[in-house]
Amino acid sequence: MARPGMGRGLAAILPEAAAEPELRELPVESIRRNPQQPRTQFGPDSLKALAASLVEAGVVQPLIVRPLRDGRFELIAGERRWRAARRIGLQTIPGIVRTADDASMLQQAIVENVQREELNPLEEAAAYQQLIEDFSLTHDDVALRVGKSRTTITNTLRLLQLPPAIQRYVKDGSLRMGHARALLGTPDRAFQEQLAKRAVSEDLSVRDVEDAIRSREGTPATKATRTRGTKLRPPGLLELEELLGDYLETRVRISMGPSRGKVEVDFATLEDLERIYRIVTEGRRPTS
């Protein structure tokens, strides 16, 4: 299912990239990869499974490419399918040929990958940063193009501030986004790396990381974990906020009183609120 605000497909966001699309059967060797492709990792097991699927059912979803002056084509979206097709020796593959400039091409590649959740967090952050630097976009502009909240874009971009060693942990899945955001709570990069290594080796929770940083920075845990009055927040509440925030891809705040609690969920636009509604009501993140 497409995300809200993207019901008309990528052309709804990038109409210039969808001008006069044409479905054709293209020689596999006439296609080259997109040098601006934000995704850099393609797991061998995943490619092997996809290749087996292509043998059984063929290529169900066409690639999206743009024509080049030398008669060849450049990928906009669908690199996994193209790689799998080459792996099993396919001579031709269906592709939708579109005229697209570099800006449209990069944006469309990012949108396609983000919607399919195929980028790891660091690749996603690097892609957003490239959009911002190359095309002078704001965080709000990027949020509109990829169908996510501005808060999610900003939080993801903050990962690029982490030391390379920690970025590798996030990239390979050893640390979650919640851990990474918690580590940004201290400016001491050496301590960030030390704590990240501990978090991986000792399987620390997000709250464990936050508490370690508060202790290091000399901030009483009670100051950061109090809600109204002088009551302490129940154990695990911060981690639940992080988990909900990661799942809904926005900022979540939880408060608890003596007999009831409250959950506050940030959203950027009506479309963003509809996206959150679908995640909650369907029990899963919508995909394209």
- The tens digit of pLDDT for each residue in 122-180 reads 878 877 877 777 667 788 888 887 778 888 888 888 888 888 889 889 888 899 888 88
Nearest-angstrom CA–CA distance, 220 and 104: 49
Nearest-angstrom CA–CA distance, 30 and 210: 51
Query: Poorest-confidence range of 28-32, 40-44, 91-95?
Result: 40-44
Catalytic residues: 79
SS (H, E, C) 154-193: HHHHHHHHCCHHHHHHHHCCCCCHHHHHHHCCCCCHHHHH
Using alpha carbons, list the distances in angstroms from residue 204 to 28, 76, 117, 174, 179: 47, 40, 25, 11, 9
Domain segments of the chain: what residues? 10-148, 152-235
- The tens digit of pLDDT for each residue in 56-115 reads 767 767 888 888 888 899 987 778 888 889 888 999 999 888 876 666 666 666 666 666
What does 235-287 look like in DSSP terms, one character per residue?
TTHHHHHHHHHHHHTS-EEEEE-SS-EEEEE--SSHHHHHHHHHHHHHTS---
- Decide yes or no: CATH 3.30.920.30 for domain 10-148: no
In 56-198 the beta strands, taken as DSSP E runs, fall at 63-67, 73-77, 92-97
